[in-house]
Amino acid sequence: MTAKIKNIAELEKKIELEFKNKDLLTLAFVHKSFINEHTEEKEYNERLEFLGDAVLELSVTQFLYHNYPSQPEGQLTNWRSALVKGKNLAKVSKNLELGQFLLLSRGEDLSGGREKEYILANTCEALIGAIFLDQGFEVANQFILTHIVRMLDDIIAKGLNVDAKSRVQELCQDKLNVTPTYELLSEEGPDHDKKFVMGIYFGKKLAGEGHGPSKQEAEQSAAKSALENEGWN
């Protein structure tokens, strides 16, 4: 890999880890847009993101299983989802100030790519994948416990683990006797920077709209909008 992160020593200081393979750490910060302008680079961080996602899920699942023996599977799943969702991972990246180390195309950089939640969330997962390959599961697990799992108490206290889609479906069926449906209202942007707008309908009524970098996140946003519009939150 010819790409280099400026001040990689500062990055290692922020994550409190010294990598044996600096190229692996660099790869975790290579966004897809970067290789469009630097054709000599053949890899970007998507595969590391795929690996990091699996390591993260195992780490969080193991923690919850051992530390909450009296909680049912449904509650553990709910808490795990809250911990590993994109918004939470983006928050971790912001706390560690990882955005400044991203390797982006000029256009992505100028459009605020260093602050985009989905890019920061994906980078967090890619970093976890890189830590796992370079340092092993125990070190990756400790990183996850230190920076991600520690947020669980705050998530529970603020009710951030409540899934808006599940909540709105429950209330809609109870109050209106209908099941909400979702429709794609619009989609724009290149493959690496899609923006979706989803609508949630109670029968034929458009109850809310939501925006997001994926259809799933846009649906969650739409569900939250519907809860607010109906005064159900």
pLDDT at 233: 63
Catalytic residue among 49, 108, 117, 125: 125
- Which helix (H) or strand (E) element contains residue 198? strand 195-202
Who contacts 71 (Cβ-Cβ below 8 Å, separation ≥6)? 64
CATH ID of 164-230, from 3.30.450.40, 3.30.9.10, 3.30.160.20, 3.40.605.10: 3.30.160.20
Pick the CATH number of 8-157 from 1.25.40.10, 3.90.1150.10, 1.10.3720.10, 1.10.1520.10: 1.10.1520.10
Active-site annotation holder among 53, 117, 193, 217: 53
pLDDT at 3: 82
- Residue located via tokens 């795990």: 80
Report residue 124 CA to chain centroid gap.
8
pLDDT at 192: 74
Q: Domain boundaries in the chain?
A: 8-157, 164-230
User: Of 162, 180, 160, nearest to 171 (Cα)?
Assistant: 180
Is 53 a catalytic site residue? Answer: yes
Query: Comparing 8-157 with 164-230, is the CATH topology the same?
Result: no
Q: What is the pLDDT of residue 124?
A: 98
Smallest Cα–Cα separation from 48: which of 26, 31, 28, 22? 28
* Closest residue by Cα to residue 187 from 220, 164, 218: 218
pLDDT at 194: 86
Residue 1: the pLDDT is 76
Give, rounded to a whole angstrom, the gap between the first and last alpha carbons of the chain: 50
**What is the C-alpha to C-alpha distance for residues 141 and 5, in angstroms, rounded to an integer?**
24
- Asked if residue 151 lies in contact with residue 56, where contact means CB atoms within 8 angstroms, the answer is no
Around Cβ 68, how many Cβ atoms within 10 Å? 13
pLDDT in tens, the chain (233 residues): 778 898 999 999 999 999 999 999 999 999 999 998 888 888 999 999 999 999 999 999 999 999 999 999 888 988 998 899 888 999 999 999 999 999 999 999 999 999 999 999 999 999 999 999 999 999 999 999 999 999 999 988 877 777 788 889 888 998 999 999 999 999 998 877 789 999 999 999 999 999 998 898 899 899 989 999 999 86
Q: Which DSSP symbol is given to 203?
A: T
β-pair partners for 19? none
- The Cα 222–Cα 227 span in angstroms is 9
Helices 137-147, 117-135: axis angle to 10 degrees equals 150
